[in-house]
């Protein structure tokens, strides 16, 4: 039998066929190193060949010098099984250099650069070549990095909600905004503050808004959410991961949580499958998405008054401590004798002047009424709600909280 080499494939003389997925992975890695394939298309190629029951073969187009696939019966090249191809042993070199506060690593095979990596030292830290060289070397070979991610948000920066008291071109009076890791998103979808460091204290926020003649007051502090356990390992289908590096897809936010859709470690981004490298995420073991709970809660609100029941919207009523309530808050309801009655969800009724038992609701003391009707607490049977889960709907983020409400003496 005639012997074939990988070089014969690169020259476009043969097409390669496969028997299992491991052969495909090994071969595609070799193609990526030889610039025949962009690494972001690797998962798509794997899926195509696997879904075809390995009836697709790979070949190199001589004109474009790019990797292509075709069904075996349509291939005009000589078809060679992967196991019959000889790979030339390569001589490898690693070059590690330093430029300012950056450590660069280059991997060469047979004198050709096949991979580059870089590690940057934070400007507040002292440069250490040993640390930089170790991190860059590990990245070169996709080794796990020891990353301390004990929180999903940076506790050193401001995390709170605030209500705007004056109208402006970027913020709306009466609207609640969230400050996450020292930044808030305005009505124009731009992040503030711009061109300065993230906010650390609420006083910093007040001083910054004062430049735009905007007044505000603090609604609440957003607690930094703890995740049970985080692992730097390949994720499995159905698990949730937190993005730690978005260089491969800038539209993904660092810290965002995604579900692994299949065995190829794909996630959904803008309704398209995107492959993840294990160095770009952390597996969240024991994490349960709050999306289903939010949809259930949103379904309750939509049945009553969908035009006004928007999660996170402030209501007229306040709790016994004088704090403003929001749609979606879960509350403890007490009667006038201070006896606990039940948990309930704050929502808005489309009707005014209704009786005590309308819509299976419990009325409580309010600051007044408006054209939209009285605010009330809806009796809910959704006992599966975790009262400390953080939820997010339509870019409105809020934390379900438990507050005490005094029942109106007249009800």
Residue 152's DSSP bridge partners are none
Q: pLDDT tens-digit profile of 385-401?
A: 333 333 322 222 233 33
pLDDT in tens, 126-136: 788 888 888 88
What span, in angstroms and rounded, lies between the C-alpha atoms of 229 and 284?
6
- Residue 341: the pLDDT is 60
The domain 229-285 having CATH identifier 2.30.30: the answer here is yes
Q: Which residues contact 185 (CB under 8 A, 6 or more apart)?
A: 177, 178, 191, 192, 395
pLDDT range class, residue 338, cuts 50, 70, 90: low
Structural element, H or E, at residue 219: strand 216-221
Strands 78-81 and 14-17: parallel
Crossing angle of helices 21-33 and 42-51, in 10° steps, is 150
* H or E segment to which residue 259 belongs: strand 257-259
Burial of 156 (C-beta count, 10 Å sphere; 0-12/13-18/19+): exposed
Look at residue 243 and tell me whether its pLDDT is greater than 70.
Answer: yes
Every domain of the chain and the residues it spans: 4-86, 92-140, 160-221, 229-285, 291-406
Q: Are 373 and 352 in contact (CB under 8 A)?
A: yes
| CA atoms of 341 and 86, how far apart (whole Å) | 76
Q: Mean per-residue pLDDT for 223-229?
A: 41
Q: Report how far apart the first and last C-alpha atoms of the chain are (Å, whole number).
A: 92
Of 402 and 315, the one with more pLDDT: 315
For the four alpha carbons of 153, 155, 158 and 163, in that order, the dihedral sign comes to: positive
Check: pTM over 0.75? Answer yes or no: no
Q: Check residue 372 and give its pLDDT.
A: 32
Tell me the residue ranges of DSSP E strands in 125-195.
160-164, 176-180, 183-185, 191-192
User: Considering the chain, what percentage of its residues have pLDDT values greater than 70?
Assistant: 60
Q: Is the pLDDT of residue 361 over 60?
A: no
* Confidence band, pLDDT 50/70/90 cuts, at residue 84: confident
């Amino acid at each position: 039998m005639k012997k074939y080499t990988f070089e014969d494939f690169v020259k476009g003389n043969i097409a390669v066929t496969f028997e299992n997925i491991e052969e495909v992975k090994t071969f595609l890695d070799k193609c990526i190193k030889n610039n025949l394939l962009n690494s972001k298309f690797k998962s798509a190629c794997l899926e195509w060949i696997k879904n075809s029951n390995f009836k697709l073969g790979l070949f190199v187009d001589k004109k474009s010098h790019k990797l292509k696939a075709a069904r075996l019966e349509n291939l005009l090249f000589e078809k060679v099984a992967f196991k019959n191809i000889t790979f030339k042993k390569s001589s490898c070199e690693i070059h590690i250099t330093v430029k300012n506060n950056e450590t660069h690593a280059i991997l060469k095979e047979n004198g050709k650069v096949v991979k580059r990596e870089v590690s940057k030292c934070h400007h507040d830290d002292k440069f250490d070549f040993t640390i930089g060289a170790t991190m860059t070397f590990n990245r070169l070979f996709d080794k796990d990095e020891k990353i301390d991610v004990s929180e999903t948000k940076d506790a050193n920066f401001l995390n709170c909600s605030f209500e705007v008291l004056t109208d402006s071109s970027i913020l709306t009076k009466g609207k609640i905004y969230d400050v996450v890791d020292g930044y808030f998103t305005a009505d124009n979808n731009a992040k503030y503050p711009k061109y300065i460091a993230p906010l650390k204290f609420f006083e910093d926020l007040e001083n910054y808004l004062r430049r735009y003649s905007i007044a505000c007051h603090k609604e609440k502090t957003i607690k930094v959410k703890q995740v049970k356990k985080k692992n730097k390992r390949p994720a499995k289908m159905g698990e949730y991961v937190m993005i730690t590096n978005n260089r491969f897809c800038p539209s993904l936010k660092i810290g965002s949580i995604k579900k692994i859709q299949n065995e190829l470690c794909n996630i959904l981004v803008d309704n398209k499958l995107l492959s993840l490298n294990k160095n770009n995420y952390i597996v969240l073991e024991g994490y349960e998405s709050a999306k289903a709970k939010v949809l259930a809660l949103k379904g309750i609100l939509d049945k009553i008054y969908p035009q006004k029941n928007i999660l996170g919207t402030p209501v007229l009523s306040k709790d016994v401590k004088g704090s403003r309530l929001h749609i979606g808050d879960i509350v403890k309801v007490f009667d006038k004798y201070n006896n606990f009655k039940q948990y309930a969800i704050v929502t808005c009724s489309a009707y005014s002047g209704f009786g005590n038992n309308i819509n299976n609701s419990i009325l409580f003391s309010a600051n007044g009424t408006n054209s939209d009707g009285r605010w009330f607490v809806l009796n809910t049977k959704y006992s599966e709600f975790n009262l400390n889960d953080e939820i997010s709907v339509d870019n409105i983020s809020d934390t379900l909280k438990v507050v005490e409400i005094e029942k109106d003496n007249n009800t």
